[in-house]
Amino acid sequence: MQKLENKFKEVNERLNNDINFIIQAFINFYGTDNSEYIVDKIKDSRVIWYDESSDMNDNIYNHIISSLPKDELDRILKERKKEAFLQSVYIDEFDVLVLPLSYDLTKIIHEINHKIGSHIVSRKPLIQISGISYSVEKNGIIQYDNDLNEAINQKMTLEIIEELKKIGLKVEVMPSWQENLFPVIDSFYSAFKDNLKELNVSGNLLKFRESLGDEYFSQFSQLIFMCGFKARRTISKKEKVDFSDDKINAIDNLVLKMKEYHDSLLQNNGKKSYK
Ligand SMILES: [Zn+2]
C-alpha cells in the first residue's frame, strides 16, 4: 500500500505542476473563444489513479487510489466491473477520469479530451453524447460510432500534445490502437476538423450530422464501423491492420460528397442572411 501512496503523491504533484500547461494547450487547440468552457471542464477534475503494473487478482483497493471521499469511491466502484477501473477511461455519468499512475501523458490528454466532448442528454434513460458518438441505455448501453470517435479523439490528442510541446512541456508520445484506423478517417478529420472541435464543445451532434447530409453520414458511419470491426479482430490476432485502396477510396469519395453538401449549405445560409 505504501508503494501506491508514494506513486499517488508523485502523480498528484506532477499533475498540479502540469495542469496550467495542459489547460493552455487545450485552449490553443480549441481557440480562445472556448477558454471558459475548457477551464471549467478541466479544473477540479475528479480522478481515480490505477496501477497498470499490477495484475488484478485481489482487492481492487490494492490497485487504485483517489482523493475522492471513500463513500463516493465505494459507490462508483459498485456500479461497474472492477476491470473498468484498471484502464484509462473517462466515465461520463460519474464525471470521473481513470488515469494511469505511470503518468502516461498521451493517455491523460486522450481521456481529458473525452471529457471535453462529453455531454449528458438525459439521465433516465441514460443518453450521452461523446464527441461524434452517442450511447443509449436500453437493456445495457448501446454505443454508436464509437471507433470513429476513438480515432478522432486520438487525432486530436496528438495535436494537443504538439501544443503542449510548443509551450515547453516534455512529452513522450506513446502509440495507441486507434492509430490503426487513421488511414480510413484521415480525410474526414482534415475536411471537418474545425467542425469536430466545435462539436466537442457544443454537443450538437444532430446539427453536425445534418450539416453533412444524413444519408452520406450514415453510409460513412457504416463503412467505418466495418473497418473498426476488422481492425479489432486483426489486432486481437496480433496481426497488422491493413485496409485496401478500394476501401479507402470509397471512404474518401463519401467524404468529398459530405464536404460538398456541407459547403453548399453554408453558401445557401450565407445568401439567406444577406436578405
Ligand atoms: Zn478513448
Confidence of residue 233 (pLDDT cuts 50, 70, 90): very high
Whose grid coordinates read 516534455?
Answer: 170
Q: Considering only 24-38, 49-63, 89-103, 124-138, which range has the smallest mean pLDDT?
A: 49-63
* Per-residue pLDDT at 275: 42
Q: How far is the CA of 274 from the centre of ligand 1 (A)?
A: 42
Q: How many Å apart are CA 12 and CA 49, to the nearest integer?
A: 10
Q: How far is the CA of 70 from the centre of ligand 1 (A)?
A: 26
Q: How many Å apart are CA 177 and CA 92, to the nearest integer?
A: 22
Q: How far is the CA of 110 from the centre of ligand 1 (A)?
A: 6
Q: How far is the CA of 111 from the centre of ligand 1 (A)?
A: 6
Q: How far is the CA of 9 from the centre of ligand 1 (A)?
A: 26
Cross-strand bridge partners of residue 64: 50
Residue of 164, 186, 177 lying closest to 228 (CA atoms): 177
Q: How far is the CA of 149 from the centre of ligand 1 (A)?
A: 8
* Per-residue pLDDT at 210: 96
Whether 51 and 59 have beta carbons less than 8 Å apart is answered as: no
**For the chain, what percent of residues have pLDDT higher than 90?**
86
Q: How far is the CA of 168 from the centre of ligand 1 (A)?
A: 25
pLDDT at 75 over 90: yes
Q: How far is the CA of 224 from the centre of ligand 1 (A)?
A: 16
Residue of 230, 156, 200, 184 lying closest to 34 (CA atoms): 200
* Per-residue pLDDT at 213: 97
Q: How far is the CA of 202 from the centre of ligand 1 (A)?
A: 19
Whether 50 and 91 have beta carbons less than 8 Å apart is answered as: no
Q: How far is the CA of 275 from the centre of ligand 1 (A)?
A: 44
189-207 mean pLDDT: 97
User: What is the value of pTM for the model shown?
Assistant: 0.94
**193 burial class (0-12, 13-18, 19+ CB within 10 angstroms)?**
middle
Confidence of residue 56 (pLDDT cuts 50, 70, 90): low
Q: How far is the CA of 267 from the centre of ligand 1 (A)?
A: 35
Whether 64 and 85 have beta carbons less than 8 Å apart is answered as: yes
- Mean predicted lDDT score pLDDT of the chain: 93
Q: How far is the CA of 270 from the centre of ligand 1 (A)?
A: 36
40-64 mean pLDDT: 87
Q: How far is the CA of 2 from the centre of ligand 1 (A)?
A: 30
